Amino acid sequence: MSQLSRRLFLSGVSCLPLQGIMKATAMPAMPVDGERKVPEWALLQRQLLDEMSDACVLFYNKYFDERGYFLCYERWGANDGPDDAIENLNNWPQLHALGGKEVVKDLYTHGWEGHLRQFTQAKTSQIEIARDGMLYKEFNVQFDWQHLAEELTVFNVMPASDPYNQANTKRIRRFAGLYMGEDEAAQNWDPKHKIIKSMMNGSRGPMLRDATALDWAGEYFEVGDRFFMEHGETTYEETLDHYREYTEVVGDHPLNLLSTTLALNAFMLTQEPKYKKWLLEYVDAWAERAEKNDGILPSNIGLDGEIGSATNGKWYGGTYGWGFSPIDTTTGERVNRNRVLRTIVGFFNAYLLTGEDKYLQTWRRLLDEINAQKRTQNGILQTPTQYGDDGWYGWKDGLNESNRLDIWWFSMKKSDRKLAPDHPWIAFLEGRNEAWPVQALRQDISQVVRCVDSIHEDTSTPDSRLADGVLKSNPATITALMHQTMGAIHIGRPAWSKSSAYIGGSPLYARVRHFDPERKRAGLPEDMAALVTEMTDDMTALIIVNTGMVFDRDIVIQGGGYGEHQINSITVNGESKKVDQSYLRLKVPAHSSITIQMQMSRYKNSPTLLFPWDR
């Protein structure tokens, strides 16, 4: 008899509050009547977690060596530099934190340590800032925060999987200090004007001059048939020309808001107020600048703290600004590369710390101001993406809905949901797409198969492989699992929704998280699966399944990604029990499932990286 066809009886569930090191007195078992099948989605979740973990081992063994070095042609550059090398492990910490195999944590940790050594040793000859190493003090010497955030995408979520890595706890504090004036060699921060002094910054400080194409593109290398070029260049000159107009970098840019995840992690690690204070002051400063600029985040703040003063008075000036439309050397046409709308993570980090709606309101007004410029062209409504000397341009069909779904996920306001686009996951939560869990998991299993095939079929060698050459073969396909098991959004690369910008370096934004109290680790315990079925402002409903046929399993469920939500009570089959903690412990009988509702006070607690049993 197959697992899917087995009938099962629910004998009960015990709910235990966690205290100290989990030496708690068991609450009386809550009887659960009825019989249920183990649902197909639960079996698919377990299959995906296990097979994805195995595929990651295959990927690592092919593309990393025994030192943890990514096997590639090492070079400096925005297209294929250090950030791309470590991006090959994107989503691995989340995979482990979801319940992937322990080997995943071992490998991403080994790869991260290898990355730090590899690119500290990797040097340039023509780019002065990196002549003694592309990393200094284990941090990129100087780059923009689109690429710095991508390089930190793995590091910033590692504590969700393993907050007890002592080397990383030191790095969390040191990296945050680079942007808080705590490192004399890296004077990135101006406390008087509350600015990061340049769009190009890092462990060797800010760039306080115009950037050159060489700064961005890196030194000569053999472009042509030797390498797969992700951006389509056929010569080195085209690579260099790509960045000819990337000159205006002095002064602050909203991309620097992505640095706030460093301070967020430092606060959640230490609970030291200085980190929270700096983060909120910096985000508040940007909110004030938007208010002064008719609701639009300006794309340059000069060294004097004034809007646009480093770009001839233009609030829309600067590289990656509202008016930034450089020539694409592969086509000869101008392309729009405004990156302001990739910076919302800073406001979300502030909201995570405070639950204050004003941080979402800044973004709402920004979108409202853009959409107020709408026009109708040939019967089609369009809105702009850029602003230049002649006003708004870069028109695209439809309203600008950038991160509207994410805003609703945080606020849970009906008014935000009304303005947000639809999505298969949201339709499921709203009772309109019952088939989604199975469909999404089957699609992801197929994606893992495709990645495995591409790994086996890849004939590239380290000397013919750039750092971004196999990013698409990374088998860690986690978005549906994050939605289903944690009610989480995945602001990553790629983003979970077409309306969300591609953003690197965000923390974990989750409604709930799961832990294994027996093995003292993050993630669903062995044999277990979870599905969040409904979310409101103060309630979360989910199904917990023990797919195993022999052993009962204990699971710890936490409110929020970092314990920021308080669980007030839990209801099973109409019977409620008071919890009044940020976590609870359940015992789920073998081969059974339970449906629970949790009444919650969201953003009531100070978020922490500590696992529940250590709080």
Strand pairing report for 528-535 and 539-546: antiparallel
Considering the domain boundaries, does residue 225 fall inside one? yes
Question: 152, 243, 279, 144: which is closest to 198 by C-alpha?
Answer: 144
Considering the domain boundaries, does residue 189 fall inside one? yes
My answer on whether 212 and 170 are in the same domain is yes
My answer on whether 240 and 369 are in the same domain is yes
Mean local confidence (pLDDT), 114-132: 97
User: Does residue 20 carry a pLDDT above 70?
Assistant: no
My answer on whether 19 and 136 are in the same domain is no
Q: What is the pTM of this model?
A: 0.94
My answer on whether 11 and 65 are in the same domain is no
**Stretch (H or E) spanning 396:** strand 396-397
Which 3 state secondary structure label does DSSP give 154? helix
- Count structural domains, the chain: 2
Kindly give, in sequence order, each residue whose CB lies less than 8 Å from that of residue 306, ignoring residues fewer than 6 positions away. Answer: none
Distance CA 289, CA 272 (A): 27
| Residue bearing the bigger pLDDT, 101 or 227 | 101
User: Does residue 9 carry a pLDDT above 80?
Assistant: no
My answer on whether 403 and 445 are in the same domain is yes
Mean local confidence (pLDDT), 588-601: 95
CA distances to 12, 50, 101, 173, 399 from 552, in Å: 11, 20, 20, 40, 50
Question: 88, 53, 56: which is closest to 69 by C-alpha?
Answer: 88
pLDDT band for position 3 (cuts 50, 70, 90):
very low
Considering the domain boundaries, does residue 278 fall inside one? yes
User: What pLDDT, on the 0 to 100 scale, is given for residue 30?
Assistant: 36
Mean local confidence (pLDDT), 213-240: 91
CATH number at residue 19: 2.60.40.1180
Considering the domain boundaries, does residue 497 fall inside one? no
Answer for the pair 546, 590: CB distance below 8 angstroms, yes or no: yes
**Stretch (H or E) spanning 536:** none
- The residue from 468, 486, 504 where one domain ends is 486
**Stretch (H or E) spanning 379:** none
Mean local confidence (pLDDT), 521-539: 98
User: Does residue 391 carry a pLDDT above 90?
Assistant: yes
My answer on whether 521 and 590 are in the same domain is yes
Question: 403, 386, 404, 406: which is closest to 394 by C-alpha?
Answer: 386
If phi > 0 it is left, if psi is from -120 to 50 it is alpha, else beta; for residue 470 that is alpha
Considering the domain boundaries, does residue 141 fall inside one? yes
Name the residue range of residue 590's domain.
3-37+512-607
Q: Running DSSP on this structure, what letter comes out for residue 179?
A: T
Q: Is the dihedral angle over the CA atoms 394, 400, 401, 407 positive or is it negative?
A: positive
Number of CB atoms found within 10 A of residue 214's CB? 17
User: What pLDDT, on the 0 to 100 scale, is given for residue 151?
Assistant: 97
Answer for the pair 118, 49: CB distance below 8 angstroms, yes or no: no
User: What pLDDT, on the 0 to 100 scale, is given for residue 36?
Assistant: 63
My answer on whether 541 and 429 are in the same domain is no
My answer on whether 456 and 477 are in the same domain is yes
Please identify which residue in the block is written with the tokens 């639950």: 355
pLDDT digits (tens, 9 = 90+) for 423-445: 999 999 999 999 999 999 999 99
- The residue from 486, 501, 536 where one domain ends is 486
- For the chain, percent of residues with pLDDT exceeding 70: 94
My answer on whether 461 and 566 are in the same domain is no
Distance CA 528, CA 589 (A): 11
My answer on whether 482 and 350 are in the same domain is yes
Distance CA 367, CA 406 (A): 13
My answer on whether 523 and 471 are in the same domain is no
Phi, psi of 190 (to 5 degrees): -110, 105
82: Cα separation from own chain's centroid:
18
Mean local confidence (pLDDT), 335-351: 97
Mean local confidence (pLDDT), 183-210: 97
pLDDT band for position 374 (cuts 50, 70, 90):
very high
β-bridge mates for residue 529, sequence order? 545
User: Does residue 184 carry a pLDDT above 90?
Assistant: yes
Please identify which residue in the block is written with the tokens 């340049």: 198
Average pLDDT, the chain: 93
Distance CA 220, CA 22 (A): 58
pLDDT band for position 105 (cuts 50, 70, 90):
very high
Radius of gyration in angstroms for the set of CA atoms belonging to the chain, rounded to a whole number = 24
Answer for the pair 307, 300: CB distance below 8 angstroms, yes or no: yes
Considering the domain boundaries, does residue 491 fall inside one? no
pLDDT band for position 501 (cuts 50, 70, 90):
confident
User: Does residue 568 carry a pLDDT above 60?
Assistant: yes
pLDDT digits (tens, 9 = 90+) for 70-80: 999 999 999 89
User: What pLDDT, on the 0 to 100 scale, is given for residue 72?
Assistant: 97
| 566-588 as b/e: b if 16+ CB within 10 A | bbbebbbeeeeeebebbbbbbbb
Answer for the pair 124, 131: CB distance below 8 angstroms, yes or no: yes
Which range among 34-38, 504-508, 533-537 shows the weakest confidence by mean pLDDT? 34-38
Strand pairing report for 521-522 and 375-377: unpaired
Distance CA 555, CA 574 (A): 21
pLDDT band for position 25 (cuts 50, 70, 90):
very low
Answer for the pair 254, 340: CB distance below 8 angstroms, yes or no: yes
Answer for the pair 531, 543: CB distance below 8 angstroms, yes or no: yes
My answer on whether 603 and 476 are in the same domain is no
Considering the domain boundaries, does residue 496 fall inside one? no
Distance CA 227, CA 432 (A): 46
CATH number at residue 301: 1.50.10
Answer for the pair 599, 557: CB distance below 8 angstroms, yes or no: no
| Residue bearing the bigger pLDDT, 164 or 228 | 164
Considering the domain boundaries, does residue 194 fall inside one? yes
Distance CA 129, CA 126 (A): 9
